[in-house]
Each structure stands twice: as structure tokens, then as C-alpha cells.
Amino acid sequence: MPVNLSSFEGPVCPVPIYHRDQIVMGHGSGGRMTADLIRDIFQPAFSNPSLDEGNDFASVSVPTFNTSNGRLIVSVDSHIVKPVFFPGGDIGRLAICGTVNDVAVSGAKPLYITAGFILEEGLPISTLQSIVQSMKSAADEAGVNVVAGDTKVVEKGGADQIFITTTGFGWLDSTIQIGGQYARPGDSILVSGTLGDHGIAVLSARGELGFETSVCSDTAPLNHLVDTILQASPHTHVLRDPTRGGVATTLNEIANQSHVGITLVEESIPLNPATRSACDMLGFDPLYVANEGKLIVIVPQEEAQIVLNSMKQTKYGKDSAIIGQITSNHPGQVLMQTPIGGTRLLDVLAGEMLPRIC
Amino acid sequence: MPVNLSSFEGPVCPVPIYHRDQIVMGHGSGGRMTADLIRDIFQPAFSNPSLDEGNDFASVSVPTFNTSNGRLIVSVDSHIVKPVFFPGGDIGRLAICGTVNDVAVSGAKPLYITAGFILEEGLPISTLQSIVQSMKSAADEAGVNVVAGDTKVVEKGGADQIFITTTGFGWLDSTIQIGGQYARPGDSILVSGTLGDHGIAVLSARGELGFETSVCSDTAPLNHLVDTILQASPHTHVLRDPTRGGVATTLNEIANQSHVGITLVEESIPLNPATRSACDMLGFDPLYVANEGKLIVIVPQEEAQIVLNSMKQTKYGKDSAIIGQITSNHPGQVLMQTPIGGTRLLDVLAGEMLPRIC
């Protein structure tokens, strides 16, 4: 005789209640529970023809224009930010934007993303669902598809809630040549907005500031801003998103790759007042604090103003500024001109200032 | 006056000793310590032109022959196996082979790998070095390059030693059409060797068996075996590597994707005697235990014998066997004919039998 399961309540519930609202080890088995998780959480958010085929691989097309001269651009980032939700974003938005941006700074058009999820047993499924929705929104905004995914589950205490590793790939037309090695003396250096906001927002979400702040993370996909820049300056030499280690560390990398010096003008560096005062109280230099939605742009000096004007008209570039220039002096070093006429050396971040920021 | 650092010993050592033999949070900072780790550990192992450019992205070429008709094949896998070293392999070999195999079973030639490392604070650097060397060996054997990587560090207790997420890319010529949806009634089903060895080897490394066993993991890159199969049978319909959930779960997926039935002959299934007895003692069915170096091959019946003969001549296919056939009866179901003339249903693995096996 068939039993009306819906009439049951309490301890005779046919599916243990924790199977339905928390991640359990079985969700990582590769069996029916994994399939259920894919069907209920991942497929509805990310549905696209490659993913929906249900094979262990995704088959995707690449643009056929200029194919024989183009290059595939690839970048990977693991995301371990703590806490997973913070003002202005969450680990899902971060996992998409971080990787989209690393592809975009090559000058390539980001096309596809893969995502590997490592989940801790006991993670609320509603938390996973929020994070996946956030990934979906960011992917839609960037115009990329999540074409392949994988889920593993670690027992409670073996991981911290959720880690997401994303790999992005895009197609680079061979006419574009952008990279950290192409900065030339005389070039102008721009940033696309206020610096250090992401790091301070994550710290505030941890309750580690000891004071209140209104700072929001800048986490954003920057590929459309990159398009704008490349239209304004087809001779763009370097694009880079200054994440861990901040602008100071990234500029040091560029100075070394290009064998040039860099001089910044302190007064010209855009800072959110709330970030500035949080950094003052904590003794941090905002140039070493992570960003997740900012670009460093290095272009020939004669194109700097037109690039700046174009950037200022975009959503994620309205606070853009020219902050310094490339020089043939002091190769490999980044110097900062202070308002009182002094100069200080900005070295690479040595150890760890803000752990688990991305 | 310059100080001869090498003459110092003990507590005045200028670099704390733990910085040199264990992973610390600073190795995930994106600053100097991250750069040191890349220079000392990752670069020497994986050196190739794309990686060596030092940008946040890798720029790689794709084969230009038939490009306009080809497809890019992509697959991602996170690896959390515990313990990280086990008989026959380690997490590094697994991270390369698992992803190479997922790309190869599409019929594509695997070309490139990205790797995202999540490291627990306190991981011995010698352990990381062994794992990276093992990745290098497996990548060389498969003929793929690791073109991009990322390292994050989580505080002690926030992760379990090391997690590695790899994404693989390959190029699929448009003349090849292989997938779980292409099995046809009458096709023969082959496996490339003994089943269930990986799962039992990992369990034995955990000391959870309660008895001694000589079983080694089968972790191996299978792309060269795939080449052999495609040369022997250009009409290969399905290739799949039966990892989590084992052969039984994978065959159920294929039966559903292709809307066909599957009948296996129990006596024909190759099993390592040590794996068989371990499974007997544990009450496991080896058809549900994970493999990391085995292929399921589905080809037209008339090509089965020639494919079998070719597979048997390869390193990773010497114990290959024909184990059953595709049928139009009982679509979506996998049935096993037992030696005593009975039939049993092999369902999908429901929950979790062996956690953290890959």
C-alpha cells in the first residue's frame, strides 16, 4: 500500500532533515546526492549548453575570427576569503570577478569560467545557494558562462565553510600586446578609483576593526572598463588589477618586469575618506591593501588624458586618476613623492598584512 | 659594517627558521614570500614560456589545424584526498591525472593545466615540494604544461594540509564525436583494467582497513591510451573514467544520457585479487569503489576485439576486458548477470561510501 509521505512528521521523516538543509559528506560522493546538488543548486544558476550536456568535460567554441593568429588567455585563482559575506560582496562575486579581471587585463575578452568548490560538511545549503546566485549575477554582468564545475566535501573542521577555485579563459586578438613587461619611460600611470576598499571592508566584516566603518568592497568585473580603455588607447602598454599586496606590490612587479622606475604623486592617489581613516587608525598603508575592482593602467603620456576621460564615464571608473609616471631612473624601484616634497620608497609587501582577504 | 649572516646561529637567525621549512600565512600574501615560493618551488618544476612571463594570466597558443571547426575542451576537479600520500600516488599525481583524464575522455588532446593551491599554515615545505615534483612527473608523462597557478594559505585548522584544484584544456578535432549520450544498442563495453584499486589503496594508507593489503592506486594519465583506442576504433562512442561512485555509477550516468540499458557479465570484470578480498572483508562492492587510472570504453560490437587487442598492448591497458553490452531493453538501468544465472540491479551510489578519496 503506498504511503503518503507528506503526512509523516518528526522522527519518521524518510529523508534525515540535515540532508536537506546542510551539506553532508554524501554531497561529495559523485553519486546521487552529488547529482541532486548539481540539479538543485548549480544547474539552475549556471545553465548553458556546455554545462547541460552532463559530461565530465565541457566543449566550447572559440571565436573563429583571426583564430590562426590569436591566443588563448588563461588564469586561475583560489578564493578563501573570511568571512564569506562582506559589505559589497561575497566569495561568489569575488570568485567570478577575480578571475574575469585577471583574464581581462591581458586585453582578452573573457569567455568561460570553471569553478571547483570545496565545501565543509555542515555548510547551510541556503549559504551555498546565495553564493551561487551571486556568482551567477557577476557572471551575467561580465558576460561569461560557467561551463564546468566540481564539488568536493570535507568533514567538519577540515575546511572553513567554502573555498572556490575559478579558472577563466578568453580569446586575445593578436593585434593586442599588453603585459607587465611593456611599460616604457614617459608612460603615464592611472588607477580606476579609490584604493584599499576591499581589504578594509573584509576586516570590518570580521569585526576586527574595533570601530564602525561604511567602507564597501569594490569587487567588480572590469572587462567592460578594459574595453573602454582599449578603444580610447589602442597603444595601452600595461593593465593590471592590484589585488593581494595592493598597488605598491603590483607596481613593483611591473617595474621589475619592464626594467623601469616608477614615480607616484601621493596627493593624486584617490582614497575613500573612510578607508583613509581606517588605515590611519590601524597603521596600514592603503597602497598595500587589496583591491578587487580596480585597474592600474599604463599608457603613453599623450593618450593619458583621453583614457582618463573615457574611464571617468564608466560605472567602475568614475574616480579614476593619473597617479604617476614611468621613468628610466631608479629601474626596479617605486618611489612616492610626498606633499611636503620628500620621496619615499614603496617596496614589495614582505609578509602577510591581512590574511584571507580574497 | 656588513654582517656575515652565515656566521649566525640559533636565536639570532635573521629569518625565523619556520619561514624556511613550513608554510606560513605570508606565503599567501601576494607579496615577497609568495614570490619566493613561486621562484623556489613552482617555477623550477613547471617552467614554460607562458608561466615564466610572470603575468597574472597565461597566454597560450591553440593548434591552428582545422581550428575553425574544432572545439576547446575544458574540465575542472578539486582534489582533497586524505592522506596526501598513498600507495601508488599522491595528491599531486592525482590532481594532474584526474583532470588530464576528464579532458582525454572527450577524445581531445590535453594541452594545458592550471592549478590553484590551498595550503594549510604549517605544511612542511618539503611536503609541498614532493607533491609539486609528482605533478611535474605526471604532467611530463601526459605531455601537458602547467601554464598558470595560484597559491592561498589558510590558518592552521582552516584547511587540511593541501587542496589542489586543476583545470585542464584540450583541443578537439571536429571529426571526433564522443560522449555519454552516444551509446547505441549492440555496442560492447570494455574496461581498461582491474577495478576499485584506488579506493582501497587510499583506505589502506589511512590505516582504516584493519588488515594489511598490497593494493596500489591506479592513478595514471590515460590520454595516450585514448589515442590508441581512437586509432583502433575511429567510431568509439563513449569514453569515461569511472572515478567517484565507481564503474556502477558511471555506467548509470551513461545509460541515462543515451536512454539505453546496460548488461554486464560479472565473471568478465577484472579484479585484483587483493582488492577483491579487501572489498569482501569490508562489505564493499568494487564496482562502486573509485578508480583514477581506468577507462570505460563503448564501441560498436564489430570493433570491440580489435580495440581490446590494442588496449592490452599498452602500459595502462594490459588487463583490459570486454565486460558487457548496451541493450535497448531496460533503458536507464544497469543489470549484472551473476555466475549462477541470476540478475541484479546496479543502482547509482546513493550517499558517501568512501569520503575524501580524490
Which one, of A137, A139, A166, lies nearest residue B116 by Cα?
Answer: A166
Picking from B59, B80, B169, the nearest residue to A106 by CB comes out as B59
Residue A2 binned pLDDT confidence (cut-offs 50, 70, 90): very low
Domains with residue ranges and CATH for chain A: 9-172 (3.30.1330.10), 180-346 (3.90.650.10)
Residue from the list B58, B151, B355 with its beta carbon closest to the beta carbon of A155: B355
Using a CB–CB cutoff of 8 Å, tell me whether A257 touches chain B: yes
As a whole number of angstroms, the distance between CA A217 and CA A166 comes to: 20
Provide the grid cell at B228: 590508441
- Kindly state whether B83 is in contact with chain A, defined as any CB-CB distance less than 8 angstroms: no
Q: Which 8-state DSSP code applies to residue B41?
A: I
> Are A245 and B29 an interchain contact pair (Cβ–Cβ within 8 Å)?
yes
As a whole-number percent, the residues of chain A with pLDDT over 90 amount to 78
> Is the Cβ pair A241, B56 closer than 8 Å?
yes
Which pLDDT belongs to residue A133? 97
Digit-coded pLDDT (tens) for A41-77: 999 999 988 888 877 888 888 775 555 578 899 999 9
B159 in A contact zone (CB under 8 Å) = yes
DSSP string across B92-115: HHHHHHHHHHHHHTTT-EEEEEEE
Residue B292 has a pLDDT of 98
Rounded to the nearest integer, the mean pLDDT of chain B is: 91
CB < 8 Å to B53, chain A: 179, 181
Across B49-53, B286-290, B295-299, least confident range: B49-53
CA B126 → CA B14, B37, B40, B86, B139, distances in Å?
21, 12, 12, 16, 20
How far is Cα B202 from Cα B37, in angstroms, rounded to an integer? 29
Q: Give the residue carrying C-alpha cell 615534483.
A: B133
Instruction: Report pLDDT digits (tens) over B48-100.
Output: 888 888 778 888 887 755 555 788 999 999 999 999 999 999 999 999 999 99
Q: Are A99 and A167 in contact (CB under 8 A)?
A: yes
User: What pLDDT score does B13 carry?
Assistant: 35
For residue A251, the one-letter residue type is L
User: Is B1 exposed, middle or buried, given 0-12, 13-18 or 19+ CB atoms closer than 10 A?
Assistant: exposed
B240/A348 Cβ within 8 A:
no
Q: How many CB atoms lie within 10 A of CB A112?
A: 24
B125 and chain A in contact, CB less than 8 A: no
Q: Is the pLDDT confidence value at A16 over 60?
A: no
Give A-chain residues touching B31 at CB under 8 angstroms: 244-245, 249, 348-352
Compute the nearest-CA separation of B308 from chain A (Å): 24
DSSP bridge partners of A125: none
DSSP H helical ranges for B8-124: 17-21, 32-37, 43-46, 49-52, 91-104
Mutation pick from A152, A295, A349 vs chain B, by most beta carbons of B within 10 Å, is A152
> Does A150 contact B78 at a Cβ distance shorter than 8 Å?
yes
pLDDT at A5 over 50: no
Best probe of the A interface among B34, B52, B57, by most A CBs < 10 A, is B57
CA-wise closest residue to B101 among B144, B51, B57:
B144
Distance CA A32, CA A36 (A): 6
Nearest to B204 by CA among B194, B217, B218: B217
Give the mean pLDDT of chain A: 91
Residue A116, all three cell numbers: 571547483
Give the closest-approach CA distance of A55 to chain B in angstroms: 7
Strands B109-120, B162-172: parallel, antiparallel or unpaired by DSSP?
Answer: antiparallel
Q: What whole-number distance in Å separates Cα of residue B198 and Cα of residue B223?
A: 18
Please state the rounded mean pLDDT for residues A157-166.
Answer: 97
Q: Please, what sign has the CA dihedral across residues A138, A141, A144, A145? A: positive
B55 chain-A contacts, CB cut-off 8 A: 105-106, 179-180, 257
Touching A: B residues 183-212, CB under 8 Å: none
Q: Which of B352, B353, B357, B358 should be substituted to probe chain A, the one whose Cβ sees the most A Cβ atoms within 10 Å?
A: B352
pLDDT score, position B70:
82
Q: Which residues contact B231 (CB under 8 A, 6 or more apart)?
A: B310
Quick one: pLDDT at residue A39?
92
Could A32 and B349 be called an inter-chain contact, meaning their C-beta atoms sit closer than 8 Å?
Answer: yes
CB A180 within 8 A of CB A255: no
What pLDDT, on the 0 to 100 scale, is given for residue B216? 97
Q: Tens digit of pLDDT for each residue in A305-314?
A: 999 999 999 9
Cα-based distances in Å from B123 to A177, B18, B160, B326: 39, 10, 9, 48
Nearest chain B CA: its distance from A48 CA (Å): 14
What is the distance between the alpha carbons of residues A349 and A246, in angstroms, rounded to a whole number?
8
The whole-number average pLDDT for the span B20-34 is 88
The enclosing H or E element of A37 equals helix A32-37
Do the chains contact at B180 and A348, CB–CB below 8 Å?
no
Interface membership of B64 toward A (CB under 8 Å) = yes
Residue A210's pLDDT band (cuts 50, 70, 90): confident
- Which of A152-156, A197-201, A300-304, B18-22 bottoms out in mean pLDDT, i.e. has the lowest? B18-22
B59 neighbourhood in chain A, CB within 8 Å = 71-74, 106, 172
- pLDDT at residue A251 tops 80: yes
B68·A64 Cβ contact <8 A: yes
Tell whether omega for the bond before A83 is within 30 degrees of 0, i.e. cis: yes
Q: Which of B76, B176, B240, B346 to mutate to test the interface with A (most CBs of A within 10 A)?
A: B76
Average pLDDT estimate for A136-160: 96
Residue B229 in grid coordinates: 583506442
Average pLDDT, stretch B198-217? 91
Is the separation of the CB atoms in B216 and B196 below 8 Å? no
Measured distance CA(B9)–CA(B16) in Å, rounded = 11
**Minimum mean pLDDT among A52-61, B109-118, B254-263: which range?**
A52-61
- Tell me how close the Cα of A50 comes to any Cα of chain B, in angstroms: 10
**From start to end of A1-127, where are the E strands?**
58-60, 71-79, 85-86, 89-90, 109-120
